[in-house]
């Protein structure tokens, strides 16, 4: 059965898109069928981060009832499937976010997990995305403003009877100025399932228009995303022993196609 997981936070810029892209890529790296959806209708970034913003048919064409959902699915270099959104303002005016659930249901049976990126705020667009999820991952950074907004997101999930898979704390520096993890769990009343370090490699990966988990599989943030993916799949995380290899080389060697 396909599981729909929404990556959410009403605070902007805390790492929802970065997490959606890298969690989806890491899950796909375990050989699973995954589809990543950019359900941030008004400020979509998935296509921009992945160099896939100029595609002929986007989620917006689906939500304006002009094109079938199956025509909006593309395959990235990594093999991950993605449904990008349109960055055109006129497309955004036509798209009806309230139809998101109806159309995304068509992905049932087409992937093991659908990862859905969502918009910041607490508006209708964010609620439409939350409603599509079987489970919600809440993203926060370890500061008071972000955790406060994460609490609002937790409340929205509760209001809509949505299961929260857990909290991801992003951009962790482990310095004295961060809110303690125990306090974050206490405030948000859910466990932390991953700590993603502050990692400049993410900026390098953005420059390459690649998920950091794909272009820099051994970067600290990539390792954290891969461990999270293993946890979600209930499989053991095994660290790559050949640090200089790309994930692609690693897989080829593992299956015996490369010496
Ligand atoms: N762990 C990290 N280390 C360093 N930079 C990061 C990390 N996570 C995210 N960033 C950077 O922070 C910025 C915002 O990230 P991102 O776009 O994923 O946030 P968002 O929550 O999706 O934002 P929005 O609310 O606008 O959709 C990006 O430039 C991204 O590269
Ligand atoms: Mg985003």
Ligand 1 atom nearest to CA at 21 = 18
pLDDT in tens, 110-150: 999 999 999 999 999 999 999 999 999 999 999 999 999 99
Q: What is the pLDDT of residue 132?
A: 98
Residue 183: predicted pLDDT: 98
Q: How far is the CA of 68 from the centre of ligand 1 (A)?
A: 30
What is the model's pLDDT at position 243? 59
**pLDDT tens-digit series, residues 249-259:** 777 777 877 77
Of 10, 11, 13, 85, the residue with max ligand 1 atoms within 8 A of its CB, to mutate for a pocket test, comes to 13
Q: What is the pLDDT of residue 155?
A: 98
Ligand nearest, relative to CA of residue 169: 1
Please give the model's pTM, rounded to 2 decimal places: 0.93
Low-confidence ranges of the chain (pLDDT < 70): 241-246
Contacts of 53 (CB under 8 A, 6+ apart): 47, 84, 87
β-strand partners of 250: none
Domain residues of the chain, as ranges? 3-254
Architecture, CATH, for domain 3-254 = 3-Layer(aba) Sandwich (3.40)
Nearest CA residue ID for atom 16, ligand 1: 15
Q: Phi first, then psi: what are they for 75, rounded to 5°?
A: -110, 125
């Amino acid at each position: 059965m396909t599981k729909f997981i929404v990556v959410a936070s009403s605070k902007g810029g805390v790492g929802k898109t970065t997490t959606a892209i890298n969690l989806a890529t890491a899950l796909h790296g375990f050989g699973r069928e995954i589809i990543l959806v950019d359900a941030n209708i008004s400020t979509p970034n998935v296509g921009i981060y992945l160099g896939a913003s100029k595609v002929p048919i986007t989620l917006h064409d689906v939500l304006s009832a002009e094109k079938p959902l199956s025509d909006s699915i593309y395959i990235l270099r990594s093999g991950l499937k993605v449904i990008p959104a349109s960055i055109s303002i006129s497309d955004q005016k036509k798209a009806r976010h309230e139809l998101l659930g109806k159309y995304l249901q068509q992905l049932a049976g087409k992937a093991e997990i659908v990862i859905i990126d969502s918009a910041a705020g607490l508006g209708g667009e964010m609620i439409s995305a939350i409603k599509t999820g079987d489970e919600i991952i809440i993203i926060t950074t370890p500061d008071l403003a972000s955790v406060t907004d994460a609490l609002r997101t937790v409340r929205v999930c509760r209001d809509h009877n949505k299961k929260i898979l857990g909290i991801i704390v992003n951009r962790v520096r482990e310095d004295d100025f961060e809110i303690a993890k125990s306090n974050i769990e206490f405030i948000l009343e859910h466990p932390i399932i991953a700590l993603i370090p502050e990692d400049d490699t993410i900026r390098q990966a953005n420059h390459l228009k690649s998920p950091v988990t794909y272009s820099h599989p051994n970067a600290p943030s990539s390792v954290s995303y891969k461990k999270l993916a293993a946890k979600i799949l209930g499989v053991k995380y095994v660290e790559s022993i050949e640090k200089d290899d790309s994930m692609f080389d690693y897989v080829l060697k593992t299956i015996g196609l490369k010496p």
